[in-house]
Amino acid sequence: MIAELQCVVLDCPEPLGLAEFYAGLLGGEVNRPDRRWSVDEDWATLHTPNGQVLCFQRAAGYLPPSWPDPELPQQFHLDLAVPDLDRGQEQVLALGARLLEQGPPERDWRVFSDPAGHPFCLVQG
pLDDT tens for 5-22 read 889 999 999 999 999 999
Q: What is the pLDDT of residues 52-64, one digit of tens each?
A: 999 999 999 999 9
* pLDDT value at residue 25: 96
d(CA 37, CA 79): 26
d(CA 71, CA 45): 29
* pLDDT value at residue 59: 92
* pLDDT value at residue 2: 65
Instruction: Give the predicted TM-score (pTM) of the model.
Output: 0.82
Pick the CATH number of 78-124 from 3.90.1170.50, 3.40.50.2300, 2.20.25.240, 3.10.180.10: 3.10.180.10
Structure letter (DSSP) for residue 13? S
**Nearest of 110, 16, 89, 93 to residue 54 by alpha carbon:** 16
Residues of the chain with pLDDT under 70: 1-2
Which positions ≥6 away from 99 have C-beta within 8 Å? 89, 93, 110, 111, 112
CATH number listed for the domain at residues 8-58 = 3.10.180.10
